[in-house]
Amino acid sequence: MAGHLNRAGFGIVLVGGAVISVYTDSAYRSGNLDFVCEEHYREPLDACLAELGVHQQGSHCVHPNGHTCLLHSPLVPWETAMTSTSSQAPE
């Protein structure tokens, strides 16, 4: 799913339990995928996910195989968040 979205040009990042699963070599198993995307991507993103058969069901997106994902949008634009984060980095 992430590969399909990245090829379509979406700035989307996997977060949450699935990332822990990757870094622990599947010692931890997550029940869903959590992605962060910018809010202005939502409408075209939903259309791109529909190409994979993914549909919205309440607050979740559901893949035809039954797996779910959540799409989170940051409260501030990424550029702003990254600028304020990098300016506060320890020296």
The domain segmentation of the chain, as residue ranges, is: 2-80
pLDDT at 63: 87
Q: Could you tell me the CA-to-CA distances from 83 to 23, 28, 49, 73, 88 in Å, in that order?
A: 26, 32, 30, 17, 9
pLDDT at 75: 57
pLDDT at 86: 44
* Averages of pLDDT over each 10 residues, the chain, 91 residues: 82 84 86 77 81 84 86 60 46 44
Phi-psi map region of 39: left, alpha, beta (phi>0 left; psi -120 to 50 alpha): alpha
Architecture label for domain 2-80: 2-Layer Sandwich (3.30)
Instruction: Determine the Cα–Cα distance for residues 26 and 36; give it in Å rounded to an integer.
Output: 21
Instruction: Determine the Cα–Cα distance for residues 32 and 61; give it in Å rounded to an integer.
Output: 10
